[in-house]
Amino acid sequence: MNIAVDKNLTIRLPKNLRGGLDAAANKLELTTNSYIKVSLYTILDLSPFKVKTDIKLNDIISEIPSGKESRIHLLISDELNELLRKKAKKYNISVNELVLSAIMISLKSHAATEKTTNTFKE
């Protein structure tokens, strides 16, 4: 019997990134945790929804901000925790940096979609 064990993952991020994350999650009527999880599943290619973006993980790693004034506690499954560790190891970054990268890619994609949507409304 395979029972998923939840892990508490604490993400440290700059306040300005937290503000953008909260705003995007609110706009989509999601919790911040749900927005992060969708971002993670997307970057790990586990999402049934495909987000069209030209942004690649390698491109965003160098942009990871250094400030870590804010914290988010994220409850994730044992399997997701293991996948994050493997992906972070592959890119030679920490799990926290991988999560920040996923958030940044998602926020940039969301901003691009918003811009396109606003263009069509005008």
Place of tokens 């029972």: 3
- The tens digit of pLDDT for each residue in 62-113 reads 777 777 888 999 999 898 999 999 999 999 999 999 999 999 988 988 777 6
Cβ contact 45:35 at 8 Å:
no
Give the tens place of pLDDT for each residue, 26-44: 999 999 999 999 889 888 8
pLDDT at 47 over 80: no
> Which string of b and e fits 16-43 if b means at least 16 CB within 10 Å?
ebbebbeebbeeeeeebeebbbbbbbbb
Per-residue pLDDT at 63: 78
Q: What gap in Å lies between CA 5 and CA 1, rounded to an integer?
A: 12
